[in-house]
Amino acid sequence: MDTLRLAIVGYGKIARDQHHPAIDDNARYRLTAVSSRNASVADVANFESLEALLEQGPEIDAVSLCTPAGVRTAQARLAMASGKHVMLEKPPGATLAEIETLREDAERHGVTLFASWHSRHAHCVDSARQWLATRQIRRVDIEWKEDVRVWHPGQAWIWQPGGMGVFDPGINALSIVTEILPRPFHLTDAQLQVPGNCQTPIAASLDFVDGENVPIHAEFDFRQQGTPPIWNIHVETDEGRLTLEAGGSRLLIDGELREEGPDAEYAGLYERFATLIAEGRSDVDVSPFRHVADALMLGHRHTVEDFVE
């Protein structure tokens, strides 16, 4: 297949640190343009808006939307109406309903829409899914804790409606769990800690259960300081305890390391996107996002001290 001419829309930290290197390392793409209000990239065409890029820029085949979720839907609709394939950073939108609109747009315009979940492409996630498929699961515990000042510096949008607060990283854990567990599950309780000057939670404690009454507990916290982030998932089974550490890059069984690999999540995303385009298909799974929406709807809100950057 021909090299895909790609544009990045929204050149912030995640685009700079993850998307751009993954694109450069994949021969199936050529980064052709960037649309960003606050940044530019050498050796490609730069524009302040997606509208300007589509009207004045070079020919492109696809766009990767790395903007905040609140503006992403309008940009995705514009790009697809112009015949461009679209990859959405997570979460795929600000609401579940708007994603259905995007799904219909992709079908109508005959383009690929990819709602990406980068943590599903962590090195050991597929191995964990296969190991769990033949075992009886008894309990799941999720620990997802990091320092918001390190991982989202100066990103005030994360505390506004649609920004999701601690669910922005927490949804990564949910994207893994929905991938590796053999059965769907649903929320039964959510306790949300919301700073007095914010609209979204800084920490959350969640309880779920699946169709066989297996308990699933998650602790998300944006206040982890002084230590590396904790991105772990533990699954108790009838044949031992499986643990995914470091966001899915390390797999342990009963504390013994069985597998580990490099951070290549975004490389996996872009390979998947190119394959979907080649096959003329879309992938718009919203199951992790649905769990977040349920938590925000069902959750008990507890006001905690104001957040100061």
Q: What is the pLDDT of residue 263?
A: 86
- CA nearest 287: which of 174, 164, 121, 141? 174
For domain 119-261+293-304, which CATH number applies: 3.30.70.1560, 3.30.360.10, 3.20.20.70, 3.30.300.90?
3.30.360.10
Q: What is the pLDDT of residue 1?
A: 58
Handedness of CA 54, 58, 62, 63 (dihedral sign): negative
Q: Catalytic site residues?
A: 90
Q: What is the pLDDT of residue 101?
A: 96
Phi, psi of 186, deg, nearest 5: -140, 160
Query: Which residue type is seen at 47?
Result: F
Average pLDDT over residues 128-156: 95
Q: What is the pLDDT of residue 226?
A: 85
What is the tens place of the pLDDT at every residue in 151-208?
A: 888 889 899 998 899 999 999 999 999 999 999 999 999 999 999 999 999 999 999 9
Say if domain 4-115 classifies as CATH 3.40.50.720: yes
Average pLDDT over residues 284-291: 97
Q: What is the pLDDT of residue 174?
A: 98
Q: What is the pLDDT of residue 155?
A: 86
Q: What is the pLDDT of residue 68?
A: 86
Q: What is the pLDDT of residue 39?
A: 85
* All CATH 3.40.50.720 domain ranges in the chain, comma separated: 4-115
Q: Are 266 and 18 in contact (CB under 8 A)?
A: yes
Average pLDDT over residues 70-98: 95
* All CATH 3.30.360.10 domain ranges in the chain, comma separated: 119-261+293-304
Query: What stretches of the chain show up as alpha helix (H) in DSSP?
Result: 13-14, 20-24, 50-56, 69-81, 96-109, 125-132, 148-151, 167-180, 265-279, 287-298
What is the tens place of the pLDDT at every residue in 208-234?
A: 999 999 999 999 999 998 889 999 999
Handedness of CA 175, 177, 183, 188 (dihedral sign): negative
Average pLDDT over residues 55-75: 94
Q: How high does pLDDT run on average in the chain?
A: 96
* pLDDT category of residue 136 using cuts at 50, 70 and 90: very high
* pLDDT category of residue 13 using cuts at 50, 70 and 90: confident
Q: What is the pLDDT of residue 70?
A: 85
